A and B are shown apart, each in its own frame.
Chain A
Amino acid sequence: MSKNIKNIGEVIAEISHFGNVAVPAGIIEFQKILVQKLHQLILTKTPIDKGVLRGNWLLTIDSVDESYDENKKTSAESTGAVITSEEAADVERVLEELTVAGLGHTVHLSNSTHYALKAEIDGWGPNTPPYAMVALSLQEIYTSIGAARKEFEQTVKSLQSNVKVKYAANV
């Protein structure tokens, strides 16, 4: 089997396009998926009493917003409730900013409510577990990445076996 290269210039341009455009775009898309997923996982684990703790998760790019507003509350009514339209709009805003900013930027998700750390690492009573909003969400993300990698490997293996079948057919 051989490939007839008519124009080496076109091939170099294709490779160059892949390195300069396709790879960075892919990395940003991956970053955006992580941002969206982590935001959803962390917010839906955040305990809701009056909604102030969940309402004060702030998404920013390249700097941490340490402000805290006790009147800023989520409209979600209970712990575990799905992302609200306001929260979804907040993520969309950051994802658009990230697309414009391009590669090499850090997205921060912060919560400066004075009891945020207590909820994360200790919870509300001596015999109740902590909410582990961030730690558990990271665990879940690592698991998702592991699953995606496994699926990718299986797809590649399946493609390889298809190719072998085609070769065999050609022979």
Chain B
Amino acid sequence: MLQTYNEENDAINGLFREQWILDPDEPMSGELSPIAWEGIDFERPKDAEGRLLDYVALHIVNGEAQRIGYGSPGSNLCRHPGIIVVKIFAGHGLGTAESRALQLGDRFCQIFKSNQILTGVVFQAPYIRKIGENPDKMYQVNGFCPFTRDNYS
């Protein structure tokens, strides 16, 4: 069970890093696109001609926790709600940027599908929202996955 926000962050980031790969059945198949992590400097990927390429940015938005159960010290159950947000930017590449962005969005949903449980973290149904073309001419969709994490205090 993940006791802290730091452990939650590491576990969710780790799951995403592990599965954001070209072939889910082939762990060494290489990453699907570069990932911008929260709080870490990131340079957007470009091809030799300076055109922006696909990348994603992962965020975890936390909400107010609630005490779910009362008991002796160490057995008070707390529930921490949150939402995983992945911003997907599709730039220059094969096919239309929109369809690539949607394919990446589908992969996001596959990773965080609702029945997947990660040591105390329960993911609900993931979904995506189309944002559209941004000023840099990249097509953007955002993926969302509400979740809760339980811990004892």
The yes or no answer to B53 lying at the interface (CB within 8 A) is no
* CB neighbours of B131 from chain A (8 A): 121-122
Q: How many angstroms between the C-alpha atoms of A126 and B146 in the bound complex?
A: 20
Bitwise, B71-89 to A at CB < 8 A (1) or not (0) is 0000000010111010101
Bitwise, B34-45 to A at CB < 8 A (1) or not (0) is 001010001000
The yes or no answer to A139 lying at the interface (CB within 8 A) is yes
Select the stretch in B13-21, B25-33, B56-64 that faces chain A.
B56-64
Task: Name the residue on B nearest A121 (C-beta).
Answer: B129
Bitwise, A126-141 to B at CB < 8 A (1) or not (0) is 1111101001110110
Q: Is the Cβ of A140 less than 8 Å from the Cβ of B63?
A: yes
Q: How far is the CB of A152 from chain B (nearest CB, A)?
A: 12
Q: Is the Cβ of B89 less than 8 Å from the Cβ of A126?
A: yes
Interface residues on B, range: 20 to 34
The yes or no answer to A88 lying at the interface (CB within 8 A) is no
Select the stretch in A6-14, A55-63, A95-103, A142-150 that faces chain B.
A142-150
Contact of A126 among B68, B87, B148 (CB under 8 A): B87
* CB neighbours of A142 from chain B (8 A): 81
The yes or no answer to B134 lying at the interface (CB within 8 A) is yes
A122-B142, A126-B134 are contacts. A139–B83 as well, Cβ < 8 Å?
yes
* CB neighbours of B134 from chain A (8 A): 126
What are 23 inter-chain pairs, A to B, with CB distance below 8 A? A121-B131, A122-B142, A126-B57, A127-B57, A127-B87, A129-B59, A129-B61, A132-B61, A136-B82, A139-B63, A139-B81, A139-B82, A139-B83, A139-B148, A140-B63, A143-B66, A143-B79, A143-B81, A146-B68, A147-B66, A150-B68, A151-B70, A154-B70
Known: A132-B83, A135-B146. 5 other contacts (CB 8 A): A136-B61, A140-B64, A140-B66, A143-B66, A154-B69
